[in-house]
C-alpha cells in the first residue's frame, strides 16, 4: 500500500482543490510553504481572501474551471502567456527579472458533480528566466546583424561610387573629351604595346598621321562651334573606316593618329589611307552648313621606319609634311 | 496539395464528429462570452505533413504574421493539434473574451487564444478518442508568434505523416473569428481511425 | 396521433452516420412497427413531410441547401400539428429557445444521449 498524502506533501508541485466559487478545499505543503499561508486555517476560505487577485485573474480562473468541468478535460495556464496567477515567492536567489514565481497551472476536474477542480501549480521561473535570456540574446543578435548588413550596404555603395569615379578618371586621362577618341597618353601606351608585340611575333603595323587641310580657315570663318562639330564628324568617319582593333587617336587641334594593326604589307595601309581621304572629301553637312574638307596623311611602317614611338610618329609626320607639300588631299609613305 | 486520407463514408463520420465537437465547444464559448456564437459547418480537408508550411501560407493569404498554438495529446490515442490565427482574429477574440475594446497586450492575446484552442481541442480530441475507445492525456499547450517569410527558421515537425485541416469560423456579435485547426496523426493512428470509422 | 398500421418517422440529417446512429437508438419493439424515411437536407425534409405526413420528424439544424430552422418553419406552416424534434450539435440555449418558439416539440443535443432519446420517443408514441 502506498500513502498518497505523503507523496502529495513531498512533491515539488503546488496542489489546490477549489470549487467553482473559488473556495479552497485543500492545499498541499508545497503551496503553503511558497505562499506563506497556513494550509489548515485556509481551508473553507475564498482564494480572493487569501491572495491578491485582479478582477481579470478571477474571471479567467472561473473560465478555466468552467471549461475543465464542462468538457471534463484539463485547462491550462502557461507561464509563457500568463506569467503567474498566484503571487508566490520564487526560489531563485540570484537577481531575477521576475518579482513572482512564473507558473504553469493545469486545472483538472476533481469532482464534476460538486463542481470542484484540482489546480496543479508548476514553478517555471528558471525556465522563463532562461527563455528571457535567449530572447534578449537573439534580439541583440538581430540588432547586430541589422547593423552589420547596413554597414556592408554602405561599403558596397561606397565601392560602387569609387569604381565609377575611377572609370571617370581613367576616361579623362586616356580619352579626348571632345571626340571620345584615344588621347596622346593612350596612343603612347597602345603604340608601345604594338611595338613589343611586333618584336615578339614579327608583326607589321602602320602609323597614319592625319591633318585636315586648311582647318584653321574653318575655325576662323565659321567659328569654333562648327570647327568642333566638324572634328566630331571626322572622328566618326575615321572610326567607321577602321577596324575595332585599330586605334584612332586625336593628338590635339586637327591632328589625328591611327594605328593599323596586323597588316601583311604596306598595300593595306595605302588602301586604308585612300579610303579615309575619299570618305572625308565627300560633301559634309555640319549644323546645316555644307562643308567640303580634305585631309593629308603621312604613313610610317613598323619595323621598317622605326622601332620606337618617337621614330614612328616623327617619320609619319615627315611623310605628312611631304603630302602637304605635294598639294594636299593625298597620302605619302615615309621615304628614307 | 490535398491528400485523400478518408473514403466518403469515413469522411462523413469524421465530419459529423467534428460538427458535434464544435457544437460542444461553441456552447461553452458562448457561455464564457455571454453571447450567442455561430459556428459554421466545419470545412475539412486532409494533407500530407510535408505540405504543412505551404498550406499555412495558403490559408493566411496576404497576412505574413500569425499566432501558432501547439498541443500534444498522448496515450492510446495520440497526436498533436496546431492552430493558426491571424493577429487580427486573435485580437478580436481577446477583446470579446476580456470585454475590452482597448488595444490588448501580447500576453493577454496569447492567453485568450490558448483558452479558445484549449476548448476546441478538448472537444474534438475527446470525441475522436471516445470513438476509438482510447485514452489520452493532454500536454501543456504553447503559443508563439510566427512569420510566413521565415518558416525555415522554425523547428520542423516530426513524428507525423498526416494532417486533418479544419477551418474554424466563429461568428460572435458582429465579429467573424477565423482560425485553422490541424490535427496531426502518424500513419498508425490514422489507420486505426480509418478502421474504426469503416466498421461503424 | 392519427391511426395508421405503422408509425412513420422522418429522419433528416446531412450526415449518413448521424442518421444511422439515431435510427439505431430506436428500441426494436418500436422499430418493428415503424417505417423510417430518411432525408439529407431541409428541402427534402419539406417534400418528404408533405408526401408522407410522418408521425415524428427528427430534424438536424445545420444542413446545406435549406437548414433545419427554415424547414421547421415550412413544415409547421404546412401542418401546425406536425411533431418535429430538432437534433442539433448547436447546444446553445439561445438556439434551443429559438426553435421551441418556432413550434419544435423538443431539442436533442448531439451527441444524442440514448436515454434522453428513448424518453422523448416514448412520450411521443405512448
Nearest to B138 among A66, A70, A74 (CB): A74
Asked whether the beta carbons of C116 and C108 are under 8 A apart, the reply is yes
What's the pLDDT at A330? 92
CATH architecture of the domain covering C7-125: 3-Layer(aba) Sandwich (3.40)
Q: What does the H/E/C string look like for chain C?
A: CCCCCCEEEEEECCCHHHHHHHHHCCCHHHHCCEEEEEECCHHHHHHHHHHHCCCEEEEECCCCCCCHHHHHHHHHHHCCCCCEEEEECCCCHHHHHHHHHCCCCEEEECCCCHHHHHHHHHHHHC
Which residues lie closer than 8 Å to C9 by C-beta, 6 or more apart? C26, C34, C35, C36, C37, C54, C55, C56, C57, C58
What's the pLDDT at A300? 94
Residue B173 has pLDDT above 90, yes or no: no
Mean pLDDT over the full length of chain A: 92
B/C Cβ contact: 3+ pairs below 8 Å? yes
**Do the domain assignments include residue B3?**
no
Closest CA to B123 of B111, B138, B145, B133: B138
Residues 60 through 79 of chain A touching chain B, CB cutoff 8 Å? 60, 63-64, 66-67, 70-78
Q: Which long-range contacts (CB under 8 A, 24 or more apart) does B6-11 make?
A: B6/B46, B6/B194, B6/B197, B7/B198, B9/B197, B9/B198, B9/C16, B9/C17, B10/B194, B10/B197, B10/B198, B11/B44
CATH architecture of the domain covering A184-333: 2-Layer Sandwich (3.30)
Tell me the domain boundaries of chain C: 7-125
Please report, to the nearest 10 degrees, the dihedral formed by the alpha carbons of residues A280, A282, A287, A289 taken in order.
Answer: 130
What's the pLDDT at B163? 94
Contact C89 B36 (CB under 8 A): no
What's the pLDDT at B4? 85
Q: Name the pLDDT band for B39 (thresholds 50, 70, 90).
A: confident
pLDDT tens-digit series, residues B56-79: 999 998 889 999 999 999 999 999
When divided into structural domains, chain B yields a total of: 1
- For chain B, how far is it from start to end, CA to CA, in angstroms? 29
Query: How is domain A4-123 classified at the CATH fold level?
Result: Beta-Lactamase (3.30.450)
Closest CA to B90 of B71, B116, B118: B116
Beta bridge partners of A206: A260, A301
Taking CA atoms, A211 is separated from A222, A235, A241, A252, A330, in Å, by 19, 12, 16, 10, 11
Alpha helices in A175-298 (DSSP H): 184-201, 215-222, 224-241, 266-281
Q: Does B69 touch chain A (CB under 8 A)?
A: no
Nearest to A81 among B98, B111, B122 (CB): B111
CA distance B85 to chain C (A): 23
Domain limits at B48?
A: 8-199
- Report, as ranges of residue numbers, the positions in chain A whose pLDDT lies below 50: none
The residue among A94 and C124 whose pLDDT is bigger is C124
Contact B115 A63 (CB under 8 A): yes
pLDDT tens-digit series, residues A246-271: 999 999 899 999 999 888 878 888 99
Q: Which chain B residue's Cα is nearest to A120?
A: B140
- Supply the angle between the helices C68-78 and C42-52 in degrees, to the nearest 10: 20
Q: Which chains touch A (3 or more CB pairs under 8 A)?
A: B
**At B160, which CATH number?**
3.40.1550.10
Residue B91 has pLDDT above 60, yes or no: yes
Catalytic residue selected from A254, A261, A278, A288: A254
Half-sphere exposure (Cβ direction) of C12: Cα atoms closer than 13 Å: 32
**Do the domain assignments include residue B2?**
no
What's the pLDDT at C1? 47
* d(C-alpha C48, C-alpha B82), whole Å: 42
pLDDT tens-digit series, residues A16-70: 999 999 999 999 999 999 999 999 999 999 999 999 999 999 999 999 999 999 9
CA distance B46 to chain A (A): 26
> pLDDT above 90 covers what percent of chain B?
54
Interface test with A, best of B29, B113, B119, B139 (most A CBs within 10 A): B119
pLDDT tens-digit series, residues C29-49: 999 999 999 999 999 999 999
Asked whether the beta carbons of C43 and C65 are under 8 A apart, the reply is yes
Chain A residues in contact with B75 by the CB 8 A cut-off are none
pLDDT tens-digit series, residues B17-37: 998 999 899 999 999 998 888
The grid cell for A326 is 605635294
Mean pLDDT over the full length of chain B: 90
CA distance A259 to chain B (A): 59
A/C Cβ contact: 3+ pairs below 8 Å? no
Which residue is it, cell 515537425?
A: B157
Residue C2 has pLDDT above 70, yes or no: no
What's the pLDDT at A287? 86
What's the pLDDT at A334? 93
The grid cell for C116 is 434522453
Contact C89 B24 (CB under 8 A): yes
Establish whether A254 is a catalytic residue.
yes
Chain A residues in contact with B98 by the CB 8 A cut-off are 56
Contact B107 A71 (CB under 8 A): no
The grid cell for C12 is 433528416
Amino acid at each position: 500500500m502506498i500513502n498518497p498524502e505523503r507523496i502529495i506533501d513531498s512533491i515539488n508541485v503546488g496542489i489546490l482543490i477549489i470549487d467553482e466559487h473559488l473556495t479552497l478545499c485543500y492545499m498541499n505543503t508545497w503551496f503553503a510553504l511558497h505562499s506563506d499561508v497556513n494550509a489548515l486555517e485556509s481551508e473553507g476560505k475564498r482564494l480572493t481572501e487569501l491572495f491578491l487577485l485582479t478582477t481579470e485573474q478571477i474571471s479567467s480562473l472561473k473560465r478555466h474551471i468552467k471549461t475543465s468541468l464542462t468538457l471534463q478535460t484539463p485547462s491550462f495556464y502557461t507561464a509563457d502567456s500568463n506569467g503567474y496567477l498566484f503571487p508566490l515567492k520564487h526560489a531563485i536567489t540570484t537577481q531575477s527579472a521576475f518579482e513572482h514565481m512564473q507558473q504553469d497551472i493545469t486545472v483538472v476536474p476533481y469532482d464534476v458533480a460538486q463542481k470542484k477542480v484540482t489546480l496543479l501549480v508548476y514553478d517555471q521561473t528558471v525556465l522563463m528566466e532562461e527563455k528571457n535570456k535567449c530572447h534578449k540574446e537573439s534580439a541583440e543578435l538581430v540588432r547586430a546583424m541589422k547593423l552589420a548588413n547596413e554597414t556592408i550596404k554602405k561599403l558596397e555603395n561606397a565601392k560602387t561610387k569609387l569604381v565609377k569615379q575611377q572609370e571617370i578618371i581613367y576616361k579623362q586621362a586616356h580619352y579626348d573629351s571632345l571626340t571620345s577618341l584615344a588621347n596622346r597618353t593612350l596612343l603612347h601606351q597602345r603604340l608601345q604595346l604594338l611595338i613589343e608585340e611586333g618584336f615578339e611575333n614579327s608583326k607589321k603595323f602602320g602609323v597614319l598621321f592625319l591633318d585636315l587641310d586648311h582647318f584653321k580657315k574653318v575655325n576662323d570663318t565659321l567659328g569654333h562651334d562648327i570647327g568642333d562639330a566638324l572634328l566630331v564628324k571626322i572622328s566618326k568617319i575615321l572610326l567607321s573606316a577602321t577596324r575595332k582593333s585599330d586605334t584612332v587617336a586625336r593628338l590635339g587641334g586637327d591632328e589625328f593618329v591611327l594605328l593599323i594593326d596586323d597588316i601583311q604589307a604596306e598595300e593595306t595601309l595605302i588602301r586604308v589611307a585612300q579610303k579615309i581621304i575619299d570618305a572625308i572629301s565627300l560633301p559634309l553637312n555640319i549644323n546645316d552648313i555644307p562643308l567640303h574638307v580634305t585631309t593629308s596623311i603621312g604613313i610610317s611602317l613598323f619595323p621598317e621606319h622605326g622601332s620606337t614611338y618617337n621614330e614612328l610618329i616623327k617619320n609619319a609626320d615627315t611623310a605628312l609634311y611631304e603630302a602637304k607639300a605635294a598639294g594636299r588631299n593625298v597620302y605619302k609613305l615615309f621615304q628614307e | 496539395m490535398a491528400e485523400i486520407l478518408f473514403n466518403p463514408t469515413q469522411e462523413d463520420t469524421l465530419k459529423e464528429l467534428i460538427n458535434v465537437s464544435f457544437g460542444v465547444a461553441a456552447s461553452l464559448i458562448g457561455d464564457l462570452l455571454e453571447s450567442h456564437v455561430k459556428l459554421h459547418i466545419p470545412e475539412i480537408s486532409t494533407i500530407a505533413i510535408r505540405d504543412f508550411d505551404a498550406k499555412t501560407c495558403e490559408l493566411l493569404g496576404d497576412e505574413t504574421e500569425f499566432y501558432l498554438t501547439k498541443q500534444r495529446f498522448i496515450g492510446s490515442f495520440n497526436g498533436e493539434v496546431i492552430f493558426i490565427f491571424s493577429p487580427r482574429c486573435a485580437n478580436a477574440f481577446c477583446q470579446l473574451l476580456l470585454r475590452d475594446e482597448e488595444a490588448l497586450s501580447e500576453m493577454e492575446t496569447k492567453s485568450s487564444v490558448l483558452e479558445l484552442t484549449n476548448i476546441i481541442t478538448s472537444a474534438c480530441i475527446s470525441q475522436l478518442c471516445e470513438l476509438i475507445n482510447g485514452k489520452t492525456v493532454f500536454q501543456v499547450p504553447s503559443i508563439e508568434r510566427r512569420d510566413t517569410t521565415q518558416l525555415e527558421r522554425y523547428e520542423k515537425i516530426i513524428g507525423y505523416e498526416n494532417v486533418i485541416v479544419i477551418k474554424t469560423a466563429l461568428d460572435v456579435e458582429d465579429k467573424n473569428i477565423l482560425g485553422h485547426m490541424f490535427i496531426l496523426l502518424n500513419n498508425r493512428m490514422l489507420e486505426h481511425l480509418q478502421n474504426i470509422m469503416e466498421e461503424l | 396521433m392519427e391511426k395508421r398500421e405503422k408509425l412513420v418517422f422522418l429522419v433528416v440529417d446531412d450526415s449518413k452516420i448521424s442518421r444511422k446512429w439515431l435510427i439505431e437508438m430506436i428500441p426494436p419493439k418500436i422499430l418493428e412497427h415503424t417505417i423510417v424515411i430518411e432525408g439529407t437536407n431541409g428541402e427534402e425534409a419539406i417534400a418528404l413531410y408533405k408526401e408522407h405526413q410522418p408521425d415524428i420528424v427528427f430534424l438536424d439544424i445545420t444542413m446545406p441547401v435549406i437548414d433545419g430552422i427554415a424547414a421547421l418553419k415550412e413544415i409547421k406552416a404546412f401542418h401546425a400539428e406536425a411533431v418535429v424534434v430538432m437534433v442539433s450539435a448547436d447546444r446553445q440555449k439561445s438556439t434551443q429557445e429559438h426553435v421551441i418558439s418556432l413550434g419544435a416539440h423538443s431539442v436533442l443535443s448531439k451527441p444524442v444521449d440514448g436515454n434522453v432519446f428513448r424518453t422523448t420517443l416514448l412520450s411521443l408514441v405512448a
